[in-house]
Amino acid sequence: MPATDPAAFAPALGAHRAPRTAVACTHCALEVPGGLVEPGAAHQFCCTGCRAAYEILHEHGLDQYYGFGERREASVTPSGRTYEEFDHEAFQKLYVRGLPDGRAQVDLYLEGIHCASCVWLVERVPLLLPGVARADLEIRRSLARVEWDPTAVPLSRVARMLDSLGYPPHPFRGVQRDAVRRREDRAMLVRIGVSGAIAGNIMLAAFALYAGWGGGMEHRWELFFRWVSLLLVTPALVWPGRIFFAGAWAALRTRTLHMDVPVALGLAVGYAQGAVNTIRDSGPIYFDGLALLIFLLLVGRYLQQRGQRAAADGAELLYSLTPSAARVVDADGGARMVPAEALLPGMDVDVHPGETLPADGVVTAGQSQLDTSLLTGESHPVSAGAGTEVFAGTVNLSSPIRVRVQRAGESSRVARLLQQVEESGRRRAPVVETANRMAAYFVAVVLALAVITFVIWEIRDPARAVDNAIALLIVTCPCALALSTPLAVSMAIGRAARAGIFIKGGDALETLARPGRMVLDKTGTVTTGRTALVQWEGPDWVRPLVLALEADSAHPVAAGFRAAWPRLAVPPARDSAHAMGGGISGFVNDRAVVVGAPAFVRARARRGAMVPANVAPGLTPVLVAVDGEIVAGAGLGDPVRPEAAAAVADLRRRGWDVTLLSGDAPAVVDAVGRALALPAGACTGGASPEDKLRVIEEARRRSPRPVVMVGDGVNDAAAIAAASVGVGVHGGAEACLATADIYLTNPGLGPLVELVDGAERTMRVIRRNLLFSLLYNVVGASAAMAGALNPLVAALLMPASSLTVVVSSWRARTFRGGAA
């Protein structure tokens, strides 16, 4: 899986790292490395990518770019890909739309979009290619919509152009949903606009009426304004207000009670009574309150929808980053790139080191090691040679292999796993929000009170009985009650997003506020998910020799060494040879160097003066021999994140029952569990994705308390979907992003604590809001029962309660991390 960079979808947060000491790159303004400075040259470049980008711009007279104050400070590193799969039939069918005038249109997700000058580059430069008609960038989501003439220029050419500027393009995999959402958003906006305009104008009429109420107003004017109000409120009810009636109807049909039910009841009764009173020419009309109520409720709903939308967008964009191409080998031996969607069983595919397998199949040539952690959670690489069955989604680590495709696309193991994920997601019963749970009692109480009011007044003063009962129904229309949850939740979701926590559904927050069982995946969640050098015993002079051999190996051990010593100068190595499952040997500075597994190295060297101590359990041991003598030993492993222990302790203090569930070897899982000070029974290793799903489902059956699954891989996805709340963590696989209710963009478990903390605070705000709105309703209901409710009091009570809730939600500090 590609490393997922949070900055990729938070362009405004681009880090400014520029140690500008010596010479600055003309294109990106970063420091030019010493070896690349050209004395006397007017323009200096930190890399060939920047030079190429500069040449494109300069050649076409676009030097204006360099005049912009805010520029992307990141060197351009073109991927060198040909993007030929972009021209393939299957790709075009999936992502490209034909326009009526013969042009084609595609939505591309660009990496590296960061600031204003990116907009300028992306919208100008592709137009230099003949045949490209337009390129529009949406900066918030880094989406570029390109229109071009397919007969004049292939899409791959456009893609290469964007790539050479440092914006590698990916097809946007959410076009269908995007169009649906856009329609929904627009419809919601229109409803808000219409109801807002109506509410404002009814208020004007209402002011005239209230002003004339005390001071004497000619009856014909009063009549006129009452009719104007009726005329205005009618469209507000039948157009924007219709969604409440639709919601209430749907709830009644499924025999559940939703907040829409009391709202629709209040609206309907208020409107009917107001209309009757207008025609009768006596008694209160409630139109101003009703119109305002519709408007406020719609705004609350829109805010909530937008917050959840933004979170879902973030996950979808990450999904677009997954590799989409496979290298198919034709009968004549030539290789070509095709989209993964076009693979068929029986095809031969070449997979280079560092690439992800595009389909399930059998290795026909080559020997390599595969990282299967995506599927199994196993942190150690697995060997694969001719005849080995391999699966889509695993990563080839060390050398090229050829795979005969057996199952591609929907029938691959990953895809089947994902189908399971979808199913368990569908089976999940929706969490009923607190406000909706209250709606049931609320309707019952209000109706009972209305009956009581009617009976009492029927005895005391029958003429006023109907009026007072109806006034009670109207004044208790639960505007503030219906607003309280969406407002508090949408504010919390917005604040959380700024803190790097994407919450896709408000009900997740309510669930998280009650402690339950929290199941953590190990690889990538509690640990860093990357092999790192944990233990090193040996002299310093050996280090450059090790790095020289490991310089261009995709093996995790090599990556671990490189990450541990990033600043060492690396001498060139020659005659280096990779031995499968063993290690690497070669010559550096004319010395024979062997790095690898103990058995491999001991077979090629004698024990020297230096005898490395045993490495800790759970680590991969590596020995280094120089000129036939063992000189150093190292232990590499997947280290526990530094803040994990403190975070777990914090969660347990809050009452959460924290457990580890991993596909990795039980010994490794237990070691991690000890590092986190978890009780002995809390760690389970060797769990397949199916096992994980079973564990979560059983935990949910056994206890009504919430079960939270935190994970990062496809192997966790089914469990995440089945949990009460699924949390995906930084760098996770796209399947995990798609099913998780919450996605944490910052690495580690610290954000998890913040999430639980924020959820608790949000629940407190919701409860406070509910209390306020109930208080207002008690006041209103008492006044109505006493027969003391006049239209002015009703008109003041309704907006005042809503405003209290708005202010209370606005001021609440739910998530703190939003410093950006």
Partner 1 sequence: MSVIYIVVPLALLVVAAAVAAFVWAANRGQFDDLDTPAVRMLHDDEEHRPLPRPPEPPAGAA
CA dihedral of 747, 514, 485, 710, whole degrees rounded to 10 = 30
DSSP-assigned states of every residue in 172-207: -TTHHHHHHHHHHHHHHHHHHHHHHHHHHHHHHHHH
Cβ burial of 792 (10 Å; 0-12, 13-18, 19+) is middle
Q: What angle do CA 483, 178, 124 make, to 5 degrees?
A: 120
CB of 201 to partner 1, least distance (A): 6
Least Å distance, CB 285 to partner 1, is 16
d(CA 525, CA 651): 15
Per-residue burial over 223-240, b if 16 or more Cβ lie within 10 Å, else e, is eebbebbbebbeebbeeb
> CB-wise, 153 or 175, nearer to partner 1?
175
* Closest to 755 (Cα-Cα) out of 669, 675, 659, 651: 651
Contact indicator for 110, 142 with CB cutoff of 8 Å: yes
Contact 482, 300 (CB under 8 A): yes
Task: Specify the 3-state DSSP secondary structure of 629.
Answer: strand
State the minimum distance, in angstroms, from the CB of residue 747 to partner 1: 27
Provide the 3-class DSSP secondary structure of residue 603.
coil
CB of 583 to partner 1, least distance (A): 49
Query: Which ranges of 254-366 would DSSP assign to H, the alpha helix?
Result: 260-280, 287-320
DSSP strands (E only) in 468-531: 501-503, 517-520
- Residue 502: phi, psi to the nearest 5? -95, 120
Q: Which of 107/670 has CB closer to partner 1?
A: 107
* 738-755 per-residue burial string, b: 16 or more CB within 10 A, e: under 16: bbbbbbbbebbbbbbbbb
Any idea how long the chain is?
820
Q: How far is the CB of 409 from partner 1 (least distance, A)?
A: 18
Least Å distance, CB 158 to partner 1, is 16
User: Smaller CB distance to partner 1: residue 135 or 370?
Assistant: 135
**Residue closer to partner 1, measured from CB, 140 or 702:** 140
- Taking the C-alpha atoms of residue 496 and residue 247, their distance in angstroms, rounded to an integer, is 28
Q: Give me the residue label for tokens 């949903």.
A: 177
Minimum CB separation of residue 739 from partner 1 in Å reads: 23
Binding site for partner 1 (CB under 8 A): 68, 94-100, 105, 116-117, 119-120, 123, 134, 136-140, 145, 147, 175-176, 179-180, 182, 185-186, 189-190, 193-194, 197, 201, 218, 221, 224, 228, 231-232
Minimum CB–partner distance for residue 275 and partner 1 (Å): 18
Least distance in Å: CB of 85 to partner 1? 17
User: Of 95 and 457, which CB lies nearer to partner 1 in the complex structure?
Assistant: 95
In the complex, the smallest distance separating the C-beta of residue 45 from partner 1, rounded to whole angstroms, is 24
* Distance from C-alpha of 453 to C-alpha of 445, rounded to nearest angstrom: 12
Residue 196 Cβ vs partner 1, minimum distance, rounded to whole Å: 9
Do residues 603 and 589 make contact, with C-beta atoms less than 8 angstroms apart? no
Q: How far is it, in rounded angstroms, from Cα 388 to Cα 420?
A: 25
User: 575 by DSSP, 3-state: which?
Assistant: strand
Taking alpha carbons only, the member of 522, 745, 560 closest to residue 640 is: 522
Tell me whether residue 80 or residue 100 sits nearer to partner 1 (CB atom): 100
CB atoms within 10 A of CB 7: 16
Instruction: Considering the complex, state which of residue 218 and residue 332 has its C-beta at the smaller distance from partner 1.
Output: 218
Q: Which residues contact 366 (CB under 8 A, 6 or more apart)?
A: 385, 386, 399, 400, 401, 402
- Report, in Å, the least distance between residue 474 CB and partner 1: 25
Q: Locate the DSSP E strands across 675-791.
A: 683-684, 707-711, 725-728, 742-744
Measured from the CB atom, is 94 or 447 closer to partner 1?
A: 94
Angstrom distance (rounded) from CA 555 to CA 531: 10
Q: How far is the CB of 60 from partner 1 (least distance, A)?
A: 13
> How is residue 214 written in tokens?
């005390």
Give the nearest distance from C-beta 448 to partner 1 in angstroms.
Answer: 40
Contact 550, 557 (CB under 8 A): yes
Distance CA 419, CA 413 (A): 10
Minimum CB–partner distance for residue 186 and partner 1 (Å): 5
What strands lie across the sheet with 583-588, from one edge to the other?
A: 532-537, 629-637, 620-626, 591-596, 583-588, 573-579
Least distance in Å: CB of 336 to partner 1?
24
Of 124 and 694, nearer to partner 1 (C-beta) is: 124
Tell me whether residue 224 or residue 249 sits nearer to partner 1 (CB atom). Answer: 224
CA 631 to CA 172: how far, in whole Å? 51
C-alpha 352/C-alpha 80 separation (Å) is 15
- We find the least distance from the C-beta atom of residue 123 to partner 1, in angstroms, to be 7
Q: In this structure, is the dihedral angle defined by the CA atoms of residues 76, 79, 80 and 84, taken in order, positive or negative?
A: negative
Helix (H) or strand (E) holding 369: strand 368-371
Write down the least CB distance from residue 339 to partner 1, Å.
14
